[in-house]
Amino acid sequence: MKKILILVFTEIFLFSFGQKKMDNVEFKNSAEVFSIKGLSQSTSIDCGNSKMIFLSGQVPLDVSGNLVGDNVEKQTQQIFKNIECILKEYGATAKDIVKLGIFVTDISKIPDFRKIRDLYINLQNPPVSSLVEVSRLFRDDVLIEVEATAVIKNK
């Protein structure tokens, strides 16, 4: 009988405190950004008074999947255009970005990245960032990839 009671209380505990369906998570894609079937461009988590938005790594492809630019500066322009289009789906802009993850094949080109980045982000409170030099990205002609996390107030 004792074993049965322990089993029943364990089940009640697990049922009561187990993970519920995550209704506060939303996945979105922008029709203005190239999308690969089966992959999400972004997800957001409702945090009560605010919403946290996570963007997958953005690369310099236009809406048709064509590479834009042959240098870091031009590729960064397309990347931030894509970021803006995705964030617009949530009513956000690049000014709402709180974290950037930058993956670049030539770290000496970061000044070219920053020149474009600074046109989009909040320079008064710039996002935290991580910078990683990689030997290559998913294609040899892609020189940079950028992940972004943004936070906006819920309406």
- Give the residue with greater pLDDT, 96 vs 31: 96
Q: pLDDT-based confidence at 7, cuts 50/70/90?
A: low
Contact 60, 90 (CB under 8 A): no
What pLDDT, on the 0 to 100 scale, is given for residue 52?
96
SS3 60: coil
Q: What's the pLDDT tens digit per position in 37-86?
A: 877 899 999 998 999 999 999 999 999 999 999 999 999 999 999 999 99
Q: What's the pLDDT tens digit per position in 101-143?
A: 999 999 999 999 999 999 999 999 999 999 999 999 999 999 9
What pLDDT, on the 0 to 100 scale, is given for residue 23?
74
- The torsion angles phi and psi of 17, rounded to 5 degrees, stand at -110, 5
Q: pLDDT-based confidence at 26, cuts 50/70/90?
A: confident
Q: Is the whole model's pTM more than 0.85, yes or no?
A: no
Q: pLDDT-based confidence at 5, cuts 50/70/90?
A: low
The backbone region for 65, taken as left when phi is positive above 0, alpha when psi lies in -120 to 50, beta otherwise, is: left
b/e sequence 5-39, b meaning 16+ C-beta within 10 Å: eeeeeeeeeeeeeeeeeeeeebeebbeebbeeeee
Q: Please give the structure tokens belonging to residue 71.
A: 């240098």
